[in-house]
Each structure stands twice: as structure tokens, then as C-alpha cells.
A and B are shown apart, each in its own frame.
Chain A
Amino acid sequence: MSDSESDANYFKEVVAEIEAEAQRRSSSGEYPRALLRSLDEEFRRWIPDASLENGVEDTIRSIEAAAYVDPAVPISSRSSLGRCVKWIVRRLTYFYHRHVTQQITALGIHVTRPLRLLDANLKSVNRRLAALEDRLDVDATARSELLVGLAISSSFHEFVESLGQHFGQVSGRVLIGDLANVELVRGLRSAGVDAYGVASGSAPAQDAVDVRHEHLFDHLGDLENESLDGFILCGIPDYGSVNEQLRALRLLLLRSKPGAAVAVIVLHPETLAKRLSPVATDLLHGRPLHPETWDYLLAREGASNISVVESSESSHCLITAKFL
């Protein structure tokens, strides 16, 4: 083994030791928690987008600086004669250069003026947008963290038979989304329903059934109107905001043919309240709507034959209907 290979191996071993030691001390709690927390918080707080506000202004300022053109042409030269000749030429042509450079400088100023106006308008739009975001969505990150930690067991299997009956006469495609449980697709397909799922989570290693791994709204955005023969709305009614739930229903109805069979599976609001921690209760803006509300919403959209079935533990409700 050459010295270089021996060094390389030794250095790799040292790095592995350092990483293992850092990992061990970190997991055993030897590092002060306050230090780790403050590092995470302080450094992340300051790094992103800190100077974005002034980015355009800095850019305009640098354009203004560059727009000033100096009419005094450099006269440095390797020989003193060359320097002298350049100096004379500069003196003789100064009136010309000054005239040209003044116009270029004026052009630069005229260009940056509308840019400043644009910058002021952009800042105003940004401020209004930020205010709007504050009103609509205070901390999406905190909520998404809470949602990840929120494990709600599904009672979907209890509804497979009812759903099989409800969609039994449907000949075309039935969309199930936002899908939390692949078994639902399997159950319906074995009952003869041409069902497929849309799941926003990452793709599992093996998918034997037809499940598209993309966000439900993205998928619906790509579908043609009146391309579905039915749909089952689930997932989003458990955690989405009222806006998201209504948008999902509206889009699904738009993409469904007249006469489509529809179903909504929703967690009972009381069940969710019992399972949530106080932090999640306070911060989650999504609330499952009551079955009565879904009944009202579907009826308002012109659905008929609306019926509500509760799961055995009353944790979930299945609302089925026909879209006219």
C-alpha cells in the first residue's frame, strides 16, 4: 500500500471515528440541549432571505454607480512618450468624450428611475402579501410538523362493503384521494370497481395497485372536466382547512360526469378532538367537518340519495351520494 493510500485510509478512519463520536454524544445527551437548540434557531433565523428586501435596491444602486462614465481616459503607458501622447490626445478630445459620457450617464439615470418605481411597487406588493399571509396562514411549518406526528388509525376497511355496493354499478374510473390506505383501492378493485388512488405521501417500495403519488390538487389540475365516473374524497377532510376541503369537493365535482357516484370519508370531529394534544388543538387550522355539514354541502351542489354511515367505534363517517 502506498503512503498516499495509507494516509487516505487513515483519514477516512478518523472521519468515521469523529462522526460516530458526535453521533454517540448527541444521542446520549452529552451535548447541552440549549446549545443545539440555539444553534438551530439562531443560524436558521438569520440565513434565509435576510437581504432579499434590499436586493433590488442594491442592484439599482450598483447600476447607478456603473452608469457614471468617467470621461478622463486612462493615460498610463510603458513609455513616458506614450503617456505624453495619450495626455495630449485626451486634452484635445476631452470636449467630445465629455459630451458622449454625459449622455450615457443621463441614460443610466433615466433607466434606473423606472426601476426604482418598480422596486417601490414590488415592496408594497410584498408587504401586502406578507400581511395577507399572516391573516391566512400563520405558521404552515408548525402545522405540517404536527400533522406528521398525528397518527389517526383509519376504519376504512369497514366501509369497503358499503363502498362496493355504492360504486358497484359504476362502469368508469373512480378516483380515491387523498389516499391514506392502499387497502381501500385493493378492496374496491376486488369488488369490480375500476378504482385508482392519489396519495400525496412518498411512493412505497412496492405498489401492486394503481396509486399515483402526487398531490391531489396537482392531479385534479391535470384531469379533464367530466372525466371521472365517481370519486371518494378522504384524507383532506380529516386535516385540511375549510378552504382546502371545499376546493377539493368543487374540483372533484367539476371533473366528474353527471350521474357520478360520490363518497366522502371523514374522521368524526369529536374523535379528533379527543386524540389531539392541546398544542395540536390550538395550532391545527384544519378541522373535520361534521357529517351534517357534508350532507348540506353535497345537497347544495345538487347531489341526491345522500346517506351517512358511521364506523363501529363511531370514529369515522361515510357519506355517499349521487351527483345529478
Chain B
Amino acid sequence: MTSVHQLVPTISPRDAVGNHTLALREVIRELGFESEIFSMFRHPDLMSDTHYVDRLPRDADVVIYQFSIGSPVAERWAQHPAIKIMNYHNITPISLVGKWDGLLAAEVQLGRDQMARYAKHCRHAICDSDFNKSELDELGYTSTETIPVMFDVTNATPDSSVLSKLERKRRGTQVLFVGRVAPNKAHHDLVAAVRTLRELHDDEAHLHFVGTDGPPGYRKVVETIVTHAGMRDHVTFHGSVSQEELVAHYLSADVFCCLSDHEGFCVPVIEAMHHGLPVVAFDCTAVGETVGDGGLLLKDKNPLIVASALHRVGSDSRLAQRLRVAGRHRADSFERSITRNRFSQYFSTLVGSL
């Protein structure tokens, strides 16, 4: 039986790359190929379902590497005699993490170096976005294709206690951002924008951050900024939340705002659209193509412009309604069944041609 295995540095059931890797294994198995996942660091919940990296068989026909960070695991993939496919999820540039997290900086630097070196080893590369594809094309990868990452938009029942708490406290425009508290997500720019929104348009506006802490120190700096901007009562860090709580946040907010400086895709934007939340985003890296026609894309994230956009969405019900409808339509195009079919077609053509 033809074997199409996957290699990934870390596998966890609660992150985007981990979920995608597990979903891809199912797609490949349904095509009738043997498929297993091999990883260096495996989450305890996946110990029995995945294999340690050194168990990767030498006679595998195709090995897919899930690439989102530098790792010694990538060398095993590069040196494997099988046909090598890369699934590229992007690597944050070192300029955005270097001063916050030395270890992460070393890993992303290694990742960028490996990415450049593997152009000659890689037969095909699948990228989450055209932005990611353009990075590989520039490095000389000869065969690249864009297929978005597979993910399930959370359809959990909203946590009623969280929902009612959020509703009870709501006064002015409720601005939401979901993502790791990391410098490339530019939480500090969101604080600046919402502060300006409060000063100029809506003195009861509130900013909600949902997401785990990223590099040490960045959260501390954002909190210092919040304090100095006099926003301690108007910004809430909710941390990591359950799927039910997350849906409650999507349903209770008025607008989702993303001012990230670097994203390889941006799943929360699609989730927000799916839940009918109008999206305002800064058009950079892959954010623009993810938002597409489903939201307001700003070319400039000057706090005055972002604040005006947030105010406009919060006060213009016709605009908000059109954003909701367009957003839902856009989110539908990323439905798991659609991307799943694309991956299925891709692998059946690719492996069929071997």
C-alpha cells in the first residue's frame, strides 16, 4: 500500500497546525493510502494516536512536513529518500519576535534558514495563503499551490453565564480580538485605537482580548501601555477560553478588529465572520486575502483611522448588517468540506501520478 506520512515538530490537539495535521491524515486515509503522524513532541492526549519521530519508516513513499517553525525534525524530512511535500503555514519574521523571546527568535531564524535551504529538496509545497506561496516562490520552490488550512469553525453552544456576564456589562462599542498575546498581533495598536475611539467618539467603548500569552514580556508591556493610557477599566484580558466561552465572546461583541503586522492566514477572522461579527482589519501579509470581500480592510492603522472605522461600524447599522452578511458568505468559502475536497483532489492526483 502506498504510504503518505506526515512529520511535524510538535503535535497538539488544541492548535491550528495540530488540528490540520490530524484532519489531513483522515483525508489521506480515506483515499486508501497508509498515513501516520510522526512528531518529536507529542501531547499526552495524542501519545497513542501518533508516533515518535524516529519511527518514520525509511520506505515511506511520500513524506509531508508541516512547516511553521525551525526544528531539527525538518532535517529528517529533508534527508528522507521519499517524495517530499511541504505544507507551509508561515514563520513569523525574526524582527517581530527577536527582542521579546530569545529562544523563539532562534527557532524562527532556524526556520527561515531551513525554508531557504529546502527549496531543492521539496517536490511540492502547499501553502495556506497566496502570501505564504509568494514567500516560497521567491525562494525558488518550483511547485507551489495555495490550499487553506483545514479547521472547524467552532459551533459550540455559547457559554450562557459568560454571555450574560458580557451582556450585563456592555455599554458602548465592544471591540474583540482573538489571538495569542504576541508582538506580531500588535495588541498595543489595538489599545491605541480603542483609546482614540473612546476619546473621540464613544467614551464607553471596551476592548476584549481573548488568547493565551505569547513571548514573555510582551503582555507586561501591553499592560503597562494600558495603564499609562488610562485604560485599565476599559481593556480586559480573558486569556485562554473554552470553545463555548469563545462563541459567547463572538456573539456579544460589536466588531472584531485585527491590526496584526504578520499573519500567515488568521483563523479568528473567519470565525468572527462565521458568527456574524463585522470585521475591521489592517491589510497586511495574509490578512487581506483572508478577509477578502467580507470586511473593512484598512491600508493604514493610524489610531485615528482605526477608531473612525470602529465608530462607523458601531454606529452605522446598514454598514454593520452588510458586513455581517458579506462576512458569513466569505466564511462559507473556507468551510472544512471545501478545503477537505481540495486536499483530497490534490493528493489523489499527486500520488496517482507516482
A56→B102 contact, CB < 8 A: yes
User: Given that A18-B305, A51-B217 are known contacts, is A46 also in contact with B224, CB under 8 Å in the complex?
Assistant: yes
A43→B305 contact, CB < 8 A: no
Q: Which of B103, B216, B224, B326 contacts A4 (CB 8 A)?
A: B326
- Judge whether A140 is part of the interface by a CB distance below 8 angstroms: no
Contact with B along A49-79 (1 / 0, CB 8 A): 1111011101100110000000000101110
Contact with A along B73-88 (1 / 0, CB 8 A): 0000000000000000
B47→A14 contact, CB < 8 A: no
- Judge whether B269 is part of the interface by a CB distance below 8 angstroms: no
Q: Which of B101, B229, B295, B304 contacts A22 (CB 8 A)?
A: B304
B103→A35 contact, CB < 8 A: no
What residues of B have a CB within 8 angstroms of the CB of A278 in the complex? none
A267 CB, min distance to chain B CBs, angstroms = 38
- A contact face: mostly helix, strand, loop, or mixed: helix
- For the A-B complex, the count of residue pairs with Cβ-Cβ distances under 8 Å equals 109
The segment from A5-13, A127-135, A229-237 found at the interface with B is A5-13
The segment from B151-159, B174-182, B194-202, B234-242 found at the interface with A is B194-202
Q: Which of A4, A5, A11 contacts B323 (CB 8 A)?
A: A11
A240 CB, min distance to chain B CBs, angstroms = 30
B199→A35 contact, CB < 8 A: yes
A68 CB, min distance to chain B CBs, angstroms = 16
What residues of B have a CB within 8 angstroms of the CB of A46 in the complex? 188, 221, 224-225, 228
Query: 8 Å CB contacts to A: which residues of B257-312?
Result: 293-300, 302-305, 308-309, 312
- Judge whether A204 is part of the interface by a CB distance below 8 angstroms: no
- Judge whether A296 is part of the interface by a CB distance below 8 angstroms: no
What residues of B have a CB within 8 angstroms of the CB of A25 in the complex? 304
A295 CB, min distance to chain B CBs, angstroms = 48
Contact with B along A16-56 (1 / 0, CB 8 A): 00110110011000011001100100110011111110111
Number of B residues near A (Cβ < 8 Å) is: 45
B168 CB, min distance to chain A CBs, angstroms = 30
In this complex, the interface size class of chain A, counting residues with CB under 8 Å from chain B, is: 35 or more
Q: Which residues of B contact A (CB under 8 A)?
A: 44, 47-48, 99-103, 188, 191-192, 195-196, 199-200, 216-218, 220-221, 224-225, 228-229, 293-300, 302-305, 308-309, 312, 319, 322-323, 325-326, 329
What are 27 A-B pairs at a CB distance below 8 A? Answer: A3-B326, A4-B293, A4-B329, A7-B294, A10-B322, A14-B296, A14-B312, A15-B299, A18-B305, A18-B308, A22-B305, A22-B308, A26-B304, A31-B304, A35-B196, A35-B199, A42-B228, A46-B221, A46-B224, A46-B228, A49-B99, A50-B221, A51-B216, A51-B221, A55-B100, A55-B102, A74-B47
10 closest pairs, A vs B, by CB?
A51-B217, A59-B102, A8-B293, A7-B326, A58-B216, A50-B221, A22-B304, A18-B308, A22-B305, A52-B99
